[in-house]
C-alpha cells in the first residue's frame, strides 16, 4: 500500500467527539441504564479455593421478598462452557470449584439490594481439596490436578545452536526475575443488561469484545449466532479486563433472562469484581545469556513461567507473546525459549495491557542492565550495539525490512534525557538514578491468532452528505472514535465534521475479532480504506456527470469534488444530493459499503517458534529518572522520556494521552500496586489496600513520536496503546537499581524492599 504524503486529517491533533458528554456527566454508563420490566442479578460463587459441591440450599434465599429465582448449571439450555479459547471453564460449576469466586449460580430479584441479600443466604456444602497457589507447587504436583494436567500451555522458540552459542561466549550471565499480579481497576466495574428478544437475546454491556460475547451466549443458550445481538454501552475503562470476563456475565444473565422472559441487569460490586475477574499474570523468569566481552550477544536460554489461575482464559495468548518477545528487540544468533503457563487455585489471569510483554520486558531489560554492569559498558551503548535494524532477524528468525525504528527510539530518548550528561549524585536524603527500557511489540494477534485477525467497517452516506460509520472494534476510553473519524475523512476526502462513529454492534458488521493488541488503528484504518475504494468511484462518477468530464479527472479532497484539468469544483454535499436524486447507479445501495481487511498470512512453525510471529512491530524506549529516599525507602519518579515508533501518527494528541496513561499504569505496576492474596482470598480488594498511583505519584512525561512508516499499516500507522505501558516498570527498576547500586529483580518495589537493601 502506498503511503500518502499530502494528508489533510492524518497527523493532526483532533478533539474527541465523546469528550464533552464524558466530562459533563451526560454520558450514561451501564450502571445508569435501565429497561422496562427489568430484574436484577447477583452472583453466587465459591467461598473455598478448591473442592466439590455436595449440596446447594436456597430455602432461606427463597424467603427474601422480591426473590425471583436461583439459576445454576441445571438451567443451561445449551453448553455449560464459557472458555474464550480453550473449553476448560464451565459457566456454572459442575460440581468442581477451582478458586474463590468460581461461579456456582445466579440469584435474580426485583431489586439489586434484594438480589445481593439473597445471594449471601445461599448455603453451599463442599468436599474440600488441597489447593495449589504457586507456580512451583503446580508444576511439581503429581496428583490432585486442577484439570487433566496442571500445565495449561507451552510455547517455545528454538533458533540456531544454543550449545555452540554458549561455547562461543566469553561471559555467561544468569539471573532470575519475578513480576506480580496487577488488577485492572477500571473505574467502571463489570456489568451488562440482557434483554429477551425472541427467538434470542440482546446484550448491552461494558465490554471490549462483542463477538466473543455473541459466541458465548449463543453456545450457552443453544441458539444461532444471528439470534444474539451484542451492543456496546459506553465503557468506563477496560485495559484487557473486559475482553474475557463480560462473556461470563452476559451468558449467566442470558440463562436467567430466557428462563424468566424478562430483562436481567447484573453489575459487579467492586469487591466482587476484584475477587472474581482476571488479572495480569504473575511471572517467574530465568535468563541465561552468553555475551562477548565487547557486548555482542551470542546466546540466550530463557524459561518463562506464568500463573494462569484456575482457568486458561487468555493465558495461551500471553504465553505466546511473551515467548516471541522474550529477549527483546536485539539480535541473537542462538536462542532457546520455553514459556509455560500453569493452573493454580487463584483467580484466572487473562489480558492486561501488553499481554505478557511487560513481564517479558522486565526480564530482558533487567538482563541487559545486568550485562552492562558486568561488562562495564554503558546500558545505552550495549543496547545500540545489539538493536534491531532493517535487514536483521528477530529471535524467531523473521527478517525485518521496513518500519524498524528501534534505534531511533533509543537515540532520541537518550538525547532528550541528556543520558551522557547525567551525574549520579547523592545527598543526605536521596539517592538518584537513571534507567532505560527498550521494547518491541508485535502488532495485532500474530501467527497464533491469525485466523481472528480480520476487521470490518460499514460506511453509510446519507442524502444530506453526512456519514455514519459502524466498525467491529470498540471505543473503551482510548480515543478510537477520533481516529476512526480522521481516517474516514482522509479516505473519502471529506470534512471530519460530517462523520459520526456509532457504538459497536454485532448487528451491523461481521466478526472483527477482539479489541485488543493495539489492533484498532491498523485493522479499522485498512478496512476504512477498503470501503472507501468502493464508495469513491460512485462519487467520482456522479461528479463527472455534473462537471461533464471524464471520471478519471475527478479528485475528491477537502469536501470538494474537482476537475483536475479545469479546476471546476462541486461541494461534496451536492454530489451526494445528485446521486440520491438521479439514482443512476447500478449498485443496489451504492452509498452504503463495507470494507474488510485481514492481516496477510504469516509463515510460522509452532513446533520451533520460528517464522513470522507478527506482521510488523512497534518499538519504544522509556528513560526514567528517579530519587530514592534513604530514610523511608520511598521511590519518586521525577521524569520519564518516552519515545515510540508509531509508523505514522494518526492523532498526535491521542498518542500523547495513550503514552501518559500507559506510563501511569507502569508506575503503579513498578511501585505501588501490591496485590495480596491469602489462601486464595484477595485481601487488597479496595483502594485503601490496593494503592493505585495518584496525581502526586505521576511524573512529568515527555512523549517523543518517531515515525518510521509501515507499508501495510493505514497511511503507514502502527499501534501504540499496548507499547505505552511496556517499558515503564523496567525503566524505573533499572533507575532504582542504578540509584542504590544494588540489583532489584522483582516488583513492586516497596519501601521495605529498599530499606532491606540499603
Q: Which fold has domain 357-443+615-757?
A: Aldehyde Oxidoreductase; domain 4 (3.30.365)
If you search the block for the grid coordinates 493454580, which residue do you land on? 344
The pLDDT value given to residue 2: 45
Q: Where in the chain is the domain with CATH 3.90.1170.50?
A: 33-129+190-267
- What DSSP string runs through 301-343? EEEEEEEEESS-TTHHHHHHHHHHTTT-SB--SEEEEEEEEEE
Report the percentage of the chain scoring pLDDT > 90: 97
CB 643 within 8 A of CB 331: no
Q: Is the pLDDT of residue 4 over 70?
A: no
Q: Is the pLDDT of residue 25 over 60?
A: yes
Q: Is the pLDDT of residue 478 over 50?
A: yes
pLDDT tens digits for range 80-119: 999 999 999 999 998 999 999 999 999 999 999 999 999 9
Task: Give the total residue count for the chain.
Answer: 758
CB 114 within 8 A of CB 65: yes
How large is the average pLDDT for residues 520-532? 98
Q: Is the pLDDT of residue 452 over 90?
A: yes
Q: How confident is the model at residue 553 (pLDDT cuts 50, 70, 90)?
A: very high
Q: Looking at 479-524, list the stretches that DSSP marks H as alpha helix, in order from N- to C-terminal side.
A: 480-492
The pLDDT value given to residue 583: 67
- What DSSP string runs through 419-484? GGG------SSEEEEEEEEEEEEE-SSTGGGGGG-EEEEEEEE-TTS-EEEEESS--SSS-HHHHH
Q: Is the pLDDT of residue 454 over 70?
A: yes
Predicted TM-score of the model (pTM): 0.96
The pLDDT value given to residue 589: 73
Which residues does 90 contact at the CB level (< 8 Å), separation at least 6?
Answer: 73, 80, 81, 82, 103
Q: Is the pLDDT of residue 697 over 80?
A: yes
CATH class of residue range 19-26+454-598: alpha beta
- Decide yes or no: CATH 3.90.1170.50 for domain 33-129+190-267: yes
Q: Is the pLDDT of residue 624 over 70?
A: yes
How large is the average pLDDT for residues 564-579? 95
The pLDDT value given to residue 551: 96
| Extended beta strands in 72-118, E state | 96-97, 103-109
Rounded CA-CA distance 17/358 in Å is 31
Which residues does 581 contact at the CB level (< 8 Å), separation at least 6?
Answer: none
Q: Is the pLDDT of residue 1 over 50?
A: no
Which of 424-428, 551-555, 561-565 shows the lowest per-residue confidence on average (mean pLDDT)? 424-428
Rounded CA-CA distance 467/17 in Å is 14
Q: How confident is the model at residue 426 (pLDDT cuts 50, 70, 90)?
A: confident
Rounded CA-CA distance 704/409 in Å is 8
Which residues does 50 contact at the CB level (< 8 Å), separation at least 6?
Answer: 97, 98, 99, 128, 129, 130, 131, 132, 146, 345, 680
How large is the average pLDDT for residues 7-33? 95
The pLDDT value given to residue 442: 97
Q: Is the pLDDT of residue 558 over 90?
A: yes
Q: Per DSSP, what are the bridge partners of residue 302?
A: 287, 337
CB 482 within 8 A of CB 403: no
Report the percentage of the chain scoring pLDDT > 70: 99
Q: Where in the chain is the domain with CATH 3.30.365.10?
A: 19-26+454-598, 357-443+615-757
Rounded CA-CA distance 361/350 in Å is 18
Rounded CA-CA distance 390/388 in Å is 7
The pLDDT value given to residue 499: 98
The pLDDT value given to residue 523: 97
375, containing H or E segment = helix 357-375
Which residues does 209 contact at the CB level (< 8 Å), separation at least 6?
Answer: 242, 243, 244, 246, 247, 474, 513, 514, 515, 516
Amino acid at each position: 500500500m502506498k503511503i500518502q504524503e499530502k494528508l489533510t486529517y492524518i497527523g493532526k491533533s483532533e478533539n474527541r467527539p465523546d469528550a464533552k458528554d464524558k466530562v459533563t456527566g451526560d454520558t450514561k454508563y451501564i450502571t445508569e441504564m435501565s429497561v422496562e420490566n427489568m430484574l436484577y442479578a447477583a452472583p453466587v460463587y465459591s467461598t473455598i479455593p478448591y473442592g466439590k459441591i455436595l449440596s446447594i440450599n436456597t430455602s432461606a434465599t427463597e424467603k427474601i421478598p422480591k426473590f425471583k429465582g436461583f439459576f445454576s448449571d441445571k438451567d443451561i439450555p445449551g453448553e455449560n462452557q464459557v472458555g474464550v479459547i480453550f473449553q476448560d471453564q464451565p459457566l456454572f460449576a459442575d460440581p468442581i470449584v477451582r478458586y474463590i469466586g468460581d461461579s456456582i449460580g445466579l440469584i435474580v430479584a426485583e431489586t439489586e439490594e434484594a438480589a445481593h441479600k439473597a445471594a449471601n443466604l445461599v448455603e453451599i456444602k463442599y468436599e474440600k481439596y488441597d489447593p495449589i497457589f504457586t507456580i512451583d507447587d503446580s508444576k511439581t504436583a503429581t496428583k490432585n490436578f486442577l484439570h487433566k494436567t496442571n500445565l495449561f500451555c507451552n510455547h517455545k522458540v528454538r533458533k540456531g545452536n544454543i550449545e555452540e552459542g554458549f561455547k562461543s561466549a566469553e561471559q555467561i550471565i544468569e539471573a532470575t526475575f519475578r513480576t506480580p499480579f496487577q488488577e485492572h481497576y477500571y473505574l467502571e466495574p463489570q456489568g451488562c443488561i440482557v434483554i429477551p428478544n425472541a427467538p434470542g437475546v440482546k446484550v448491552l454491556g461494558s465490554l471490549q469484545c462483542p463477538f466473543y460475547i455473541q459466541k458465548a451466549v449463543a453456545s450457552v443458550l443453544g441458539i444461532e449466532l444471528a439470534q444474539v445481538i451484542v451492543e456496546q454501552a459506553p465503557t468506563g475503562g477496560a485495559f484487557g479486563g473486559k475482553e474475557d470476563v463480560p462473556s461470563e456475565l452476559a451468558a449467566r444473565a442470558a440463562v436467567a433472562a430466557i428462563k424468566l422472559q424478562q430483562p436481567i441487569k447484573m453489575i459487579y460490586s467492586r469487591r466482587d469484581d476484584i475477587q472474581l475477574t482476571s488479572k495480569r499474570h504473575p511471572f517467574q523468569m530465568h535468563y541465561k545469556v552468553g555475551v562477548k566481552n565487547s557486548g555482542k550477544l551470542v546466546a540466550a536460554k530463557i524459561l518463562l513461567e506464568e500463573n494462569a489461575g484456575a482457568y486458561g482464559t487468555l493465558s495461551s495468548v500471553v504465553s505466546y507473546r511473551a515467548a516471541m518477545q522474550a529477549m527483546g528487540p536485539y539480535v541473537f544468533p542462538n536462542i532457546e525459549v520455553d514459556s509455560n503457563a500453569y493452573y493454580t487455585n487463584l483467580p484466572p489471569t487473562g489480558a492486561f495491557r501488553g499481554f505478557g510483554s511487560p513481564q517479558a520486558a522486565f526480564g530482558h531489560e533487567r538482563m541487559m542492565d545486568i550485562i552492562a554492569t558486568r561488562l562495564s559498558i554503558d546500558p545505552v551503548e550495549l543496547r545500540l550495539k545489539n538493536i534491531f535494524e532493517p535487514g536483521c532477524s528477530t529471535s524467531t528468525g523473521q527478517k525485518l525490512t521496513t518500519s524498524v525504528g528501534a534505534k531511533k527510539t533509543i537515540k532520541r530518548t537518550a538525547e532528550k534525557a541528556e543520558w551522557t550528561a547525567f551525574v549520579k549524585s547523592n545527598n543526605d536524603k536521596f539517592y538518584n538514578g537513571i534507567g532505560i527500557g527498550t521494547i518491541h511489540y508485535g502488532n495485532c494477534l500474530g501467527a497464533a491468532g491469525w485466523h481472528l485477525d480480520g476487521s470490518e467497517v460499514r460506511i453509510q452516506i446519507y442524502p444530506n452528505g453526512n456519514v455514519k460509520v459502524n466498525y467491529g472494534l470498540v471505543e473503551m476510553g482510548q480515543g478510537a472514535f477520533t481516529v476512526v473519524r480522521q481516517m474516514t475523512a482522509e479516505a473519502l476526502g471529506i470534512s471530519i465534521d460530517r462523520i459520526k462513529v456509532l457504538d459497536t454492534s454485532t448487528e451491523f458488521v461481521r466478526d472483527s475479532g477482539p479489541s485488543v493488541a493495539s489492533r484498532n488503528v491498523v485493522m479499522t484504518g485498512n478496512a476504512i480504506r477498503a470501503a472507501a475504494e468502493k464508495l469513491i468511484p460512485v462519487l467520482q462518477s456522479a461528479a463527472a456527470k455534473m462537471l461533464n468530464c471524464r471520471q478519471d479527472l475527478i479528485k475528491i479532497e477537502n469536501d470538494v469534488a474537482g476537475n483536475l484539468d479545469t479546476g471546476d469544483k462541486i461541494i461534496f454535499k451536492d454530489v451526494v444530493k445528485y446521486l440520491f436524486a438521479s439514482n443512476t447507479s447500478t449498485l443496489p445501495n451504492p452509498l452504503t459499503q463495507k470494507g474488510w481487511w485481514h492481516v496477510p498470512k504469516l509463515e510460522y512453525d509452532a513446533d520451533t517458534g520460528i517464522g513470522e510471529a507478527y506482521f510488523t512491530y512497534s518499538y519504544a524506549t522509556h528513560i526514567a529518572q528517579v530519587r530514592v529516599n534513604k530514610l523511608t525507602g520511598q521511590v519518586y519518579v521525577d521524569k520519564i522520556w518516552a519515545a515510540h515508533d508509531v509508523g505514522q501518527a494518526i492523532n498526535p494528541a491521542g498518542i500523547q494521552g495513550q503514552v501518559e496513561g500507559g506510563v501511569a499504569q507502569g508506575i503503579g505496576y513498578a511501585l505501588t500496586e501490591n496485590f495480596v492474596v491469602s489462601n486464595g482470598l484477595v485481601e487488597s480488594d479496595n483502594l485503601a489496600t490496593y494503592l493505585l498511583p495518584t496525581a502526586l505519584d505521576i511524573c512529568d512525561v515527555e512523549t517523543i513520536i518517531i515515525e518510521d512508516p509501515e507499508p501495510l499499516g493505514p497511511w503507514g500507522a502502527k499501534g501504540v496503546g499496548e507499547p505505552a505501558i511496556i517499558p515503564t516498570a523496567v525503566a524505573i527498576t533499572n533507575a532504582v537499581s542504578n540509584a542504590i547500586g544494588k540489583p532489584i529483580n522483582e516488583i513492586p518495589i516497596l519501601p521495605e524492599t529498599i530499606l532491606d537493601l540499603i
